[in-house]
Amino acid sequence: MKEEFVIIDTQDGSHSIFSPTFGVTYHSKYGAIQESQHVFIEAGLYEAGLHKKDLSILGIGFGTGLNALMTSIEASRRNLNITYTGVENFPVPVQEAVQLNYPEVLKVPEYRPLFEKMHQMEWGKQEVLSTNFQFQKLQQTFQSLHFEQKFDLIYFDAFAPSAQPELWEEDVLSIMYEALMEDGLLVTYCAKGAVKRSLKSLGFTIEALKGPPGKREMTRAKKAKVK
């Protein structure tokens, strides 16, 4: 049976989508944009961009495209050159995705064509979407990922462990570790103890940071340099 994706409003006025299959929303009910700004842009992109202007980012998963959109905006604002790979095994249908109000709530309506292009473009094909932003998306399971290239930053934005616990287990997290460059960062809204212990056992250095609205903590993990 085909899943019915339901667009909902969050408290900051931005949309999210409810997934009946997994019983969860793609973003925090307290504010989709607020959550992405706090977890992925401020704790992730700003930190990774302190010492590098050329960044490669892996988005796990692509979902509504909000994280990718906000990253493309920041690439231009901060004069960063970003190559972004978004991974999603259960794509949001294009007809629902293009109804999402992110460019308007972010007050960048000029980014609507870029946002819609991300959803409409072919899977597995990299395209230059703006002067500062190259993008591709992959439709596959997280467990099957393998990259020859290494990333500076991973946005780990899978559905919560309560909905898809298998995505937070050590086999998937080890793929994330291998995909990162030395000193690379992984950021996630999740602060569950078992997840942090798994990250630490793989060789990450863990920081517990203040969470976005509605969450006490979030996690930033750094891949240590090999001595």
Tens of pLDDT, residue by residue, the chain (227 residues): 456 789 999 999 999 999 988 899 999 999 999 999 999 999 999 999 998 999 999 999 999 999 999 999 999 999 999 999 999 999 999 999 999 999 999 999 999 999 999 999 999 999 999 999 999 999 999 999 999 989 999 999 999 999 999 999 999 999 999 999 999 999 999 999 999 999 999 999 999 999 999 999 999 999 987 65
Q: What is the pLDDT of residue 225?
A: 75
Q: What is the pLDDT of residue 3?
A: 65
Helices assigned H by DSSP within the chain: 32-36, 46-48, 66-77, 94-97, 102-105, 112-120, 170-179, 193-202
Two structure tokens written together for 5: 């994706």
Q: Which CATH class is domain 31-223?
A: alpha beta
With tokens 């103890």, the residue in question is 193
Two structure tokens written together for 79: 């004069």
- Under 8 Å between Cβ of 160 and 194: no
b/e map of 125-148 (b: 16 or more CB within 10 Å)?
A: eeeebeebbbbbbbeeebeebeee
Q: Are strands 15-19 and 24-25 parallel, antiparallel or unpaired?
A: antiparallel
Contacts of 140 (CB under 8 A, 6+ apart): 87, 89
Q: What is the pLDDT of residue 164?
A: 94
Q: What is the pLDDT of residue 73?
A: 98
Q: What is the pLDDT of residue 1?
A: 43
Count CB-CB contacts under 10 A for residue 177. 18
